[in-house]
Amino acid sequence: MKQNLTVEDALELVLQAARPLQDIEHLPLAASYGAVLGADLVSKVDHPSISDTAVDGYACLEADTRSASLGNPVRLEVIGQSPAGKPYVGRVRPGEAVQVFTGAPIPDGADAVIRVEDTLREGDFVWLMKPASRADIRPKGADLVQGQAYLHKGDLLTPGRVGLAAAMGYATLPVIRRPRVGILSTGDEVVEPGEPLPYGGVYNSNSYSVAGLVAEAGGEPVILPKISDDVESLRTQLRRAGQLDLLITTGGVSMGAYDIVRQLLEREGEILFWKVRIQPGGPLLFATWNGLPLMGLPGNPVSAMVTFLLFGRPLLFRLLGRTDPPYSRLRAIADTPFEANPTRRAYRRAVLRWVDDRYRVATTGNQSSAVLRSMAVGNALVVLEAGRSAQQGEAVEVIPFPGAW
């Protein structure tokens, strides 16, 4: 078992253990937001399917209209009209125009459009106060060309991409099955919210904060009944867990005699690493149990969330084959000092804001790993290398919480 790894080395071991899922499901468009595309998609159509007008006005021959001005308008005969979806049958000849509405096909013969506000209608004739423009024609295939791939395997299905898939002619989309992620809280003192809190008890928050993070990363959280601090109930729960792609436990990975996750895995699984040089989250454990990747998040509520972001989220992205980075980074000016840890990379909870053309970041206050409020008030982590505190006014590296920015 490796111990006391850097973030980079630990992440490499995590990603090595994650085998991208191959199972494809077909989802209706409206159910596909947030899923990950399982295949490249080529457009079934050209868009526009035929050259059409970008404006309401009159289609005509550009050459007829070059001299048109307010003082010297040009008169054309209106020979018909074409609403969107209804082509004008026939040809536009010199001296003629067809009234068109945005999205309508450009009639044969016409090569330009004059906007309605630059015209004056008089019975079967129209006066043009300006030359007609070729730029207001959207050429066939300007947006999409039939047979060309515009969406790719591994793309997250954002609203824009779902809309694009619809425009390309797809009613259902091939997506990667969501990874099923078991979430198991451990600890004798941990009590379900809603139950009376006994002396020394603490409500189970980890199962719910981590379930939210799993769902946000594209996984399907499966909250398992919490277990007490004994190896036998952990083993039983693991066997019952059913078909999972990843198991996340919280608690029980530190030094205490009741640290059952570590004990069980030392005997029955393979621990790939234990402890990473970070704060919070130092005692993170990563293992496999009967081929199942198992991430043992530390029990402190902040530690559980931060380690999920740094390791669990990249692991889920790998299972899903997502090609976008699991989180972003930026630099911001520190509005408060941030204290480093002397020996570990520190992730301080902070509030990130955009003020006067700059990102600015301020501490959420008490940085104890037990203060879950910091994750609710905060929307970002300030990253400090070991021993490198930041003074007020200094530029610092920031990881915004996914979904909060």
Biggest distance spanned by C-alpha atoms of the chain: 95
Q: Nearest CA to 134 among 55, 68, 73? A: 55
Contacting range for ligand LQZAQKY5; rule: CB under 6 A; set: 147-155, 200-208, 213-221, 342-350 = 200-208
Among 32, 300, 341, 379, indicate the residue that binds ligand LQZAQKY5 (CB under 6 A): 300
**Residue of the chain from 65, 82, 119, 185 that contacts ligand LQZAQKY5 (CB under 6 A):** 185
Options 32, 186, 249, 300; binder of ligand MOO; rule CB under 6 A:
300
Q: Examine residue 252 and tell whether it contacts ligand MOO (CB under 6 A).
A: no
Spatial separation of the C-alpha atoms in residues 379 and 359, rounded to whole Å: 13
From 126, 91, 116, 121, select the one nearest 106 (Cα to Cα): 91
Reading the block at residue 255, the tokens are: 């030094």
Tell me the DSSP string of 212-261: HHHHHTT-EEEEPPPB-S-HHHHHHHHHHT-S-SEEEEES--SSSTT-HH
The binder of 107, among ligand MOO, ligand LQZAQKY5, none, by C-beta within 5 to 8 A per type, is none
Q: Residue 207, interface with ligand MOO (CB under 6 A)?
A: no
Nearest position to ligand LQZAQKY5, beta carbon: 299
| Residue 190 partner contact from ligand LQZAQKY5, ligand MOO, none using kind-dependent CB cut-offs of 5 to 8 Å | ligand LQZAQKY5
Q: Parallel, antiparallel, or unpaired: how do β-strands 246-250 and 292-297 relate?
A: parallel
Separation of alpha carbons 50 and 355, rounded Å: 46
Residue type, 275: K
Task: Kindly state whether residue 187 participates in binding ligand MOO, applying the rule CB under 6 A.
Answer: no
User: Half-sphere exposure of 393 toward its Cβ, with a 13 Å CA cutoff?
Assistant: 0
Length of the chain: 405
Nearest distance in Å: CB 336, ligand MOO? 20
- Segment interacting with ligand LQZAQKY5, rule: CB under 6 A, options 84-92, 167-175, 277-285, 335-343: 277-285
Instruction: Please name the residue that has the structure tokens 């990747």.
Output: 293
Q: How far is the CB of 377 from ligand LQZAQKY5 (least distance, A)?
A: 18
Among 249, 303, 363, 379, binds ligand MOO (CB under 6 A): 303
Please give the size of the binding site for ligand MOO, defined by CB under 6 A: 8
Q: Amino acid letter at 257? A: A
369, 382, 384, 390: residue in contact with ligand LQZAQKY5 (rule CB under 6 A) = 369
298 lines the binding site for ligand LQZAQKY5 (CB under 6 A): yes
Decide: is 255 part of the binding site for ligand LQZAQKY5 (CB under 6 A). yes
* Cβ proximity to ligand LQZAQKY5, 148 vs 366, nearer residue: 366
Task: Output the six-digit token pair for 385.
Answer: 């290398």
DSSP secondary structure, 276-328, as one string: ESEES-TT-EEEEETTEEEEEE-SSHHHHHHHIIIIIHHHHHHHHT--S-SS-
Q: Does 279 participate in binding ligand MOO (rule CB under 6 A)?
A: yes
Taking CB under 6 A as the criterion, which residues in 340-379 touch ligand MOO?
369
Q: Which two tokens stand for residue 201?
A: 């008890």
User: Nearest CA to 327 among 338, 312, 339, 340?
Assistant: 312
Instruction: Determine which residue in the list 280, 293, 296, 314 makes contact with ligand MOO, applying CB under 6 A.
Output: 280
E strand or H helix at 65: helix 62-65
Binding test (CB under 6 A) with ligand LQZAQKY5, winner from 82, 250, 341, 367: 250
With CB cut-offs between 5 and 8 Å by kind, which of ligand LQZAQKY5, ligand MOO, none does residue 90 bind? Answer: none
249 binds, among ligand MOO, ligand LQZAQKY5, none (CB under 5 to 8 A by kind): none
Nearest distance from C-beta of residue 14 to ligand MOO, angstroms: 17
281 binds ligand MOO (CB under 6 A): yes
154 binds, among ligand LQZAQKY5, ligand MOO, none (CB under 5 to 8 A by kind): none
By the 10 Å C-beta count (0-12 exposed, 13-18 middle, 19+ buried), 70 is classed as exposed
Considering Cα of 388, then 390, then 394, then 400, what sign does the dihedral take?
A: positive
Handedness of CA 88, 91, 96, 102 (dihedral sign): positive
| CB of residue 255 to ligand LQZAQKY5, shortest distance in Å | 4
Where does this chain bind ligand LQZAQKY5 (CB under 6 A)?
Answer: 185, 187, 189-190, 202, 204-207, 250-256, 259, 280, 282-283, 298-301, 303, 369-370
